[in-house]
Amino acid sequence: MNAHKPERVLKRPLLVSATATLVLFGVFAVLISSRIQQNLASERLGEYNSVISFQSEIEELLFTNVQRLEGFRAWLELNEGPDSPGTREFLDKLLQGQEGNIRSVSVIEDTTIVWTYPRRGNEGAIGNNLALVPQQRISVLYVKETGKAAITEPVNLLQGGRGLIVRSPIQVNGEYWGQLGIVLDAGQVFRQIDTRGEEMGIEYALFLKEKFPEESFYGDAGILDRDPLVAEIGILNASWSLALMPEDGWSNQAPSSILSGVAALLLSLGFGFLMYLLLSTRSRLREQAIFDALTGLHSRGYFVSYSSTLIARAEREKSAFALVLLDVNNLKPVNDNYGHKAGDMVLRSIGYLLKKNCRSSEAAFRTGGDEFMLLLSDISTEDELNLAMKRFRKELKFPLKFNGVQVTVSVSMGAALFPRDGSSIGELTDAADTRMYRDKREQKQESGITGSE
């Protein structure tokens, strides 16, 4: 049993207070970070309204043209093809007000364009097999194979320019015959979306979901470096990713974060300093009660509590231990002849040697002016006790010089075994004291401290 362990923490007030300072600062940092995240989350939550509104604007713009396409398909089914009288007049009314957005409407037999509206400016598209056009092949074959409507990303058009194409299948007698297509002017569509974005104070970029986040088909993909909100837009077969954020960016939390961090640091340092003062004072007071100031050994007061703990453990474990009483021989002549500083040097030397030679299961105490005690918790037999006493007796006989005079320091020793010699510290001390004075008498023929020139 190591008698020093109970005071290990209190002996390190600087370490404890520094740790407490770091922990407190860490708590403040977490709270500050949490507050910042809460502010950002609140801001982003508010911006989600813009995401929903903007997302709806795009979907409405595109779905409106899907509905127009479905209206034209119904006309064709009722009027037996695009060359029926009144077809172009029907389209004039159906597409009224959309002249800027819609570039053309086409009828596709199988995968080949056979009819367009308006014809002027779109003649070059007629007769082209779209299954052979790389940018349009996938959507055309998708509609043919699945019988479902589809929309493309912005593609290069056969008649020039770029467009978004909405396609819908045509069936005759329940079998696939071909498709209808509405070509939306990509530039005009995105100008409308841009206008709405400016009104809402946002910037955005659109991506095909399968190409997100590497490549946008409209807008600056660099927006992803500024932590935008991301939403999905599902239109027919297409899945687009919308990245969106305030035009002026997210609010800057850095200034308030720095001020909060500085305040937290100062509070933490102040708390740590106060804790250091408290622990230092407490440690000094406890050390004064537990340690002997002259020798650095444990004091008599600590011997009482430590020995009680040792007895309780021995009784619980049915084990033994030894108590050894030591008395410095003839210390008074040293004080009288060489002064109390010399006597203090003897006591300090004894204390140093006891600490140096105590094992982890042994503890040393100064219990009086020239009296010391040892508690040896790993001793259970007389032979073990004799070996330990022999070891200490050898180390505690040594020379010192005072004013050019060499003296030999030695001690008298007496020991007792628990529970053989007693069941209490008082009984053990009495037994050890009797044996110590017997040892002192046996040494009477030679002085415990002798002097010579």
Distance in angstroms (rounded) separating the CA atoms of residues 68 and 53: 23
Give me the helix-helix angle, 300-317 and 425-442, nearest 10°.
110
Q: What is the DSSP string of 355-388?
A: HHH--TTEEEEE-SSSEEEEEETT--SHHHHHHH
Per-residue pLDDT of the chain (453 residues; tens, 9 = 90+): 545 444 444 457 777 778 878 887 788 778 777 777 776 667 666 677 777 787 787 778 778 877 888 888 888 878 877 888 888 888 888 877 776 678 888 999 999 999 998 888 788 888 999 999 988 899 999 999 999 988 888 888 877 788 888 998 988 888 999 999 888 888 888 888 888 888 888 888 999 888 888 888 888 888 888 888 888 888 888 888 888 888 877 766 566 667 777 777 777 778 777 777 777 777 766 766 788 889 999 999 899 999 999 999 999 999 999 999 999 998 988 998 999 899 999 999 999 999 999 999 999 999 988 999 999 998 989 999 999 999 999 999 999 888 888 888 999 999 999 999 999 999 999 999 999 999 998 887 655 444 443
Place of tokens 């011997």: 303
Whether residue 11 contacts residue 282, with contact meaning beta carbons closer than 8 Å, is answered with no
The CATH-assigned architecture of domain 80-200 is 2-Layer Sandwich (3.30)
DSSP state for residue 271 in the 8-state scheme: H
Residues assigned a catalytic role: 370
Distance in angstroms (rounded) separating the CA atoms of residues 79 and 107: 14
Q: DSSP alpha helices (H): ranges in 180-252?
A: 186-200
pTM summary value: 0.49
Whether residue 113 contacts residue 123, with contact meaning beta carbons closer than 8 Å, is answered with no
Domains 80-200 and 291-452 in one fold: no
Task: Detail the DSSP E strand segments found in 112-156.
Answer: 112-117, 150-151, 155-156
Nearest to 108 by CA among 166, 57, 53, 51: 166
Token pair listed for 292: 């002997």
Token pair listed for 360: 């982890």
Token pair listed for 335: 């004080």
Fold held by 291-452 = Alpha-Beta Plaits (3.30.70)
List the domain boundaries for the chain: 1-77+252-285, 80-200, 291-452
Distance in angstroms (rounded) separating the CA atoms of residues 179 and 169: 4
